[in-house]
Structure 1
Amino acid sequence: MNGSPAPETTAPEATTLSSVIVVGSGPTGLLLAGDLAHAGVPVTLVEKRPRGVSNLSRAFGVHARTLEQLDARGLADPLVATGGTLTGLRLFRRLSLDLSTLPSRFPFLLITPQYEVERLLERRARELGVEFAYESEVVALRQDGTGVDVEVRRADGAVVTHRAAYVVGADGHRSAVRQAIGLPFPGASVIKSLFLADVRLAETPETVLTVNGAGDAFAMIASFGDGWYRVMGWNRRHEVADDVPLDLDEVKEVTRRALGTDYGMHDARWLSRFHSDERQAPQYRVGRVFLAGDAAHIHSPAGGQGMNTGLQDAANLGWKLAAAVRGWAPEGLLDTYQTERHPVGEAVLRSSGGLVRLARAHSPVLRATRALVSALIDGVGPARRKVIAQVTGIGYRYPAPRGSHPLTGTRVPDAALGTGRLYEALRTGRHLLVTPEPCEPPAGPHADRLTVAHWATPRRTTLLVRPDAYIAWASDSATPEAIEAALSSHLG
């Protein structure tokens, strides 16, 4: 599909080549580019901004499933060291979610600024050989049966054409890639006026995350662990455009109304307004072009699922693109990105939108509904566990063929293997075959696509685990022939 033509005033220079182009160097793009490079795929990461990770980002919460994905890359423990943890979340005063019960190595919400996530992911990407093209703006995109041409305007005004086998737009909610392939971004604003501020406090809150609403005001304060705090809030009686000036006095006043105190707020290093939309692209793939993260879906900040969902997109797509570039992807593998991730994005839109609508309830009927929903979730174990699993990301499962083992398509939890932990074994970036007893790695075409390990405890189930830590195939009584058939089906 053709995008808009490049400006006529500047002719494209000589074409440069790479196997995959990732547009956007936020967390989603950095994780994806690093995964591709780790798999031996040449990657160019195109970024409109100058080099340098911004410390003025919105996200600050990293959920358990994201930490598991980072653990499979050796990054979780360094990231946990940068922030504080919460083992419980309180919503609407009456509803408490106990994260300490999560069946995960990370039974908590990590509070750390997005720039710490970006710092670790950027360092990994550089070490793996990702080529960065900063101050480079996508101005046109064309694709054919063998590749994609991306025209990029550099800071000096020159337009350079990059050609790749595939392109991924991870370039945010105003995605130039999405616009170039002609995809709509339907949806609407759910909160017209939110504010963000990074401040210092004279008084320390009791927990790393403080949240409450009172009347027409809502405020949240999160500790970055370095003396700075992120404040987010809204005032229903003062919904204004994003470009209306914001000062610290307004932030303090709304915070006092919502929390009863402003904790001696001072020395704001950043103040900003924004509006919160709910939007999702109808397709995450058009030919050889894919969308991930905010380029594919945006939603309210309720539940802190935005950055986390984008990182899960990247983890799902990276190994599939690598398989396609290297020539062993089974037929239809790239199409599973849409069938697996689009429903998750849709579910996040529903859950985060529901939370923010309940939080903003002001009529007696809506407040009664909120109380009823809170009581139901708080008092019914399965409902509470389902909410926790969805918010933290550990509860999502992908479609499985009819007749598959019940574990197929589910997230694999960490477990002890004969040579270490399961998530440590996934750090090769390959599929992982886990068997009840030690066995020899299979010879032939699968050898360089597979890691083999065995359970450290008595288990009879054989698992084939995908690089994104979901179960591709399972059997409670696997024969060598069945294992070979599974490997041929999933590894080409």
Structure 2
Amino acid sequence: MSSSDPMQRDQNEILSDDTVLIVGGGPVGLLLATVLAFHGVKSLLLERNKTTTKWPKMDLTNARSMEIFRKLGLAKGLRSRGMCNFHSKPNKNSNTTFIGVASHIPYTVLFSSGLSRDKPITQWLHPSVDEYRKNIIKQNDGTHPLEPYQRISQSIFEAWLKESCDSNPLIDVRYGWKVELVEGYGGDVKTTAVDVDSGKRASFVSKYAVGCDGGSSKVRAGLGIPLDGGPTPGYVLLVHFKSTDLSRLQKQGQFWHIFFIRNGQMGGAMIAQDEIDTWTVHLFLPLEADHLSMSSEDAVYTVLGGMGGEYEIKIDQVLVRSTYRPIIAVARSYSALNGRVFLAGDSAHQNIPTGGYGMNMGIADAYDLGWKLAAVINGYGKKGLLDSYELERRPVAFMSVEHSKVHMGTHGAISEILQPDPSMVDANCDEGRRLREEIHKHYQSHDGENKDLGVEMGFHYKSPINIPDEEGRPEPVWEPSCYSPTTLPGVRAPHVFLNDGTPIFDLYGKDYALVEFHDQIDRGSSFLVEAAKEISVPLKHLILIGEDNARKIWQRPLVLIRPDGHVSWRGDTIKDLDAAKHIVAAMVGSNMMVSGLKVAFGCSGSDLLFTQKDEFVIEKMGDFQT
């Protein structure tokens, strides 16, 4: 539901307790509103801009994010926009043509010394969506995601998601409202905003507010939450343009990304936003460089030329041009005002674009916070559930930021490989061939960018709402390069196809699910169902019979799944109703029950409250102190 006439709005609005105020209408804010609505909760979204972004920004929705959109019933819609985009290029039968990234096109990444060369130095052969899906079906062992990734430019993604929100009666989208201040107001939150057209000021009082307002977040700054970290050396000139000069652009083959060596180092990159006519060039510059002295066309030619000087193409239209300086930072806190205000997305963390973690982390933030806020507003979730948001998501931000640096380091190492004479990289001699072979080996042995499933979906949420295994059971070793299937509490449960081909993922339902691999033994699952019913926790009891493959991968006969697909508890039996009540109390964040958990599960309350590895956080914090 959209509101566009500021004269029809009250200057002061008191929102109902079941309405969340969201600041920021980018992908994270729009998705948060979507998740809340999915769970029956209303939201009011304020965005300072009048339209969705024109900038390309992110260009890959990763596999874990696609799983999230599948849960929300939106995966097919997103793929339809990514594979069939609208362009105002008329043909004889229609005012628009439909183009995009067809599902059979591989996501190839090239590494080149310049398009004047006949071929690239090396390449990463990321599979197409079709090929990825075939691999998922073929290898049904829990190591794969359920959904392949999807190429889609943020300008298209964001417009599609806003359309979805506009049509949802639980979401009130108000673009053209600039938020100036978020502050405490008794036990509530007051958000002050200005209508950018009329200049009229209005205040909105709500029980909860969420800052999804980007790296320069007014919400974070106004609440005095510092960022640990800062900008990286150098900056980037971005030029987003249209060109149908495919014979020159794709001289070295069709590509998704192509990285160019320039001046003896990795000097720029180009992204194919679709497979027809839309591209984005990134020119890496030192801080002292003056980009204003360079035209957008010359910037494109400089990047494409690599080590060989400018390489000209026919540019039909420059769409947008900007500069940005990559920042590595994590907010010191994800909440304020006693858990009434939260941060999500770039307002909470910022990283280097390599790996595509930024927006995809924001999607995961919105998903995690959304279902927890909904549980509390719907009456069965407790404050501990909201407290778990920072405990779970902030360590993931540190890990993802670190790995974006790892991927950037892969490109940065090229300058060392090219020493002492970078010009030899194009030479037709033994030294030139040796350099090119060394670059090839380097990229083939450091190929985790956009494929490190351990980073994307293998993280372990350690917080009191996940009941740990009994002592003495070793945890699986985490690796950034792969997802190790496990139902360890706090980890995303493995995707597996059941005997009839149904993904177990699709059977969880909307809220909590107790998955039972039934083997004719009474394991006490009815106690958990009864305990959940007593306090009105929505719980689906999924009984599976004869599913030997899934049972082996899932490791336990009883596994309790959270609304986000992560495991809350697992076990062989539930001995009685009291034990079941302890499990339910923990999973919904009942802090008062934490002391009881040490009786049921053999660990102390302090162990539960501080299960995340504090030494990891402290060590990583040291890397980001300003």
TM-score range for the pair, normalised by the shorter chain length? 0.7 to 0.9
- 2:66 paired with 1:74: no
Equivalent of residue 17 in structure 1, options 15, 18, 28: 15
**Larger displacement relative to structure 2 (213-222 or 143-152):** 213-222
1:334 counterpart SS class: helix
1:322 maps to 374
The verdict on how the C-alpha distance between 1:237 and 1:338 changes in structure 2, with shifts beyond 3 A counting, is: closer
Distance, in Å, in 1 between the alignment partners of 2:158 and 2:255 is 21
Change (3 A) 1:74 1:266: same
Which residue type is aligned with residue 165 of structure 1? K
Q: Which residue of 1 aligns with 2:201?
A: 159
Structure 2 SS opposite 1:294: helix
**1:146 is aligned to 2:187:** yes
Letter in 2 for 1:74: G
Maintained 8 Å contact 1:86/1:110: no
Letter in 1 for 2:27: P
- Inter-partner Cα distance in structure 2 for 1:384 and 1:212: 15
**Distance apart, 1:473 and its partner CA:** 1.2
Q: Deviations over 1:323-345 (max 9, x none)?
A: 22223224522111111111111
Q: Which residue of 391, 396, 399 maps to 2:459? A: 396
Q: Match of 1:141, SS?
A: strand
How far has the Cα of 1:148 moved from its partner?
Answer: 0.4
Are the structure 2 counterparts of residues 483 and 232 from structure 1 closer, same or farther at C-alpha, using a change threshold of 3 Å?
farther
After TM superposition, the structure 1 stretch with the greater mean CA deviation from structure 2, 348-357 or 214-223, is 214-223
What's 1:171 paired with? 213
* Matched residue, 1:8: none
Aligned to 1:211: 258
Among candidates 561, 564, 578, match of residue 468 of structure 1: 564
Please give the alpha-carbon distance, in whole angstroms, between the structure 2 residues aligned to 1:244 and 1:104: 48
**Alignment deviations for residues 100-127 of structure 1 (CA, whole Å, 9 cap, x no partner):** 5773345754221113322343233334
TM-superposed CA distance for 1:416, in Å, is 3.9
Matched, 1:442 2:529: yes
**Structure 2 counterpart of 1:35, which letter?**
V
The offset of 1:90, in angstroms, is 6.8
| Distance in 1 (alpha carbons) for counterparts of 2:304 and 2:172 | 43
Q: Residue type of the partner of 2:391?
A: T
Equivalent residues in 2 for 1:257-406, closer than 5 Å? 257=306, 264-287=314-337, 288-361=340-413, 364=416, 388-391=452-455, 393-399=456-462, 401-403=467-469
Q: Report the CA distance between 1:446 and its aligned residue.
A: 5.5
Amino acid at match of 2:349: H
CA distance in 1, matches of 2:497, 2:321: 46
Counterpart for residue 122 of structure 1:
162
Q: CA deviation at 1:188?
A: 2.3
Q: 1:138: how far off?
A: 1.3
Provide Cα deviations, 1:262-299, integer angstroms capped at 9, x if missing partner. Answer: 66544222222222111221111112111110111111
Cα displacement (A) at 1:76 = 1.8
Distance 1:335 1:412 in 2: 22
TM-score by length of 2: 0.67
Tell which deviates more after alignment, 94-103 or 243-252.
Answer: 94-103
The answer (yes or no) to whether the contact 1:138–1:153 under 8 Å persists in 2 is yes
Check whether the contact 1:211–1:259 (CA below 8 A) recurs between aligned residues. no
TM-score in terms of structure 1 length:
0.84
1:248 aligns with 2:297: yes
How far off its partner does 1:24 sit?
0.5
Q: What is the DSSP-based 3-state SS (H/G/I as helix, E as strand, rest coil) of the residue aligned with 2:386? A: coil
* Preserved CA contact (<8 Å) 2:191 2:205: yes
- Could you tell me how far apart the structure 2 residues matched to 1:248 and 1:124 are? 36
Q: Is the 2:191–2:203 contact (alpha carbons within 8 Å) kept by the matching residues of 1?
A: yes
Q: Give unpaired runs (5+ residues) of structure 1.
A: 1-11
2:236 corresponds in structure 1 to 194
Q: Which residue of 1 aligns with 2:492?
A: 411
Q: Which moved more, 1:144-153 or 1:199-208?
A: 199-208
Spell out, residue by residue over 1:369-425, the C-alpha distance to the aligned partner (whole angstroms, 9 max, x if none): xx9999699569xx969971245x122121155535861111123334689433333
Which residue identity does 1:230 align to in structure 2?
W
Amino-acid identity (%): 24
Could you tell me which amino acid in structure 2 is paired with residue 329 of structure 1? G
Q: Deviations over 1:166-206 (max 9, x none)?
A: 11000011111111101122422225321222322311633
Decide which moves more: 202-211 or 35-44.
Answer: 202-211
CA distance, structure 1, for counterparts of residue 351 and residue 391 of structure 2: 20
Q: For the residues of structure 2 that align with 1:90 and 1:273, how far apart are their CA atoms?
A: 24
User: Bigger shift: 224-233 or 52-61?
Assistant: 224-233
| Cα distance between partner residues in 1 of 2:540 and 2:565 | 13
Which residue identity lines up with residue 496 of structure 2 in the other structure?
Answer: A
Shift of 1:21: 0.6
**Number of residue pairs aligned between Structure 1 and Structure 2:** 474
Q: CA separation of 1:416/1:455 partners in 2, compared to 1, >3 Å: closer, same or farther?
A: farther
Contact 2:58 2:154 in 1 (8 A): yes
- RMSD, aligned CA: 3.6
Distance 1:232 1:123, change over 3 A: same
Shift of 1:144: 4.8
Deviates more, 1:192-201 or 1:147-156: 192-201
Alignment match, 2:506: 424
Which residue among 275, 279, 282 is the counterpart of 1:230? 279
Q: Does 1:487 align with 2:584?
A: yes
Taking structure 1 as reference, are residues 461 and 379 closer, same or farther at Cα in structure 2, changes over 3 Å only?
Answer: farther
SS in 1 for 2:230: strand
Write the mapping of 1:46-61 to structure 2, written as runs, cut at 5 A.
Answer: 46-50=46-50, 52-61=51-60
State the match for 1:6 in structure 2: none
Counterpart contact for 1:243–1:273, Cα < 8 Å: no
C-alpha contact 2:467 2:583 (8 A) present in aligned 1: no
Whether the aligned pair in 2 keeps the contact of 1:412 and 1:471 (CA below 8 Å) is: yes
Answer whether contact 2:108 2:257 (CA < 8 A) is retained. Answer: no
Structure 2: unaligned runs, 5 residues or longer = 1-9, 84-100, 113-120, 137-142, 421-436, 476-487, 520-524, 591-626
| Aligned partners of 2:242 and 2:279 also within 8 Å | yes
14 and 447 in structure 1: CA distance in 2 versus 1, 3 angstrom threshold: closer
Which has the higher Rg, Structure 1 or Structure 2?
2
How far apart, in 1, do the equivalents of 2:419 and 2:388 lie? Answer: 40
User: What letter is aligned with 1:199?
Assistant: K
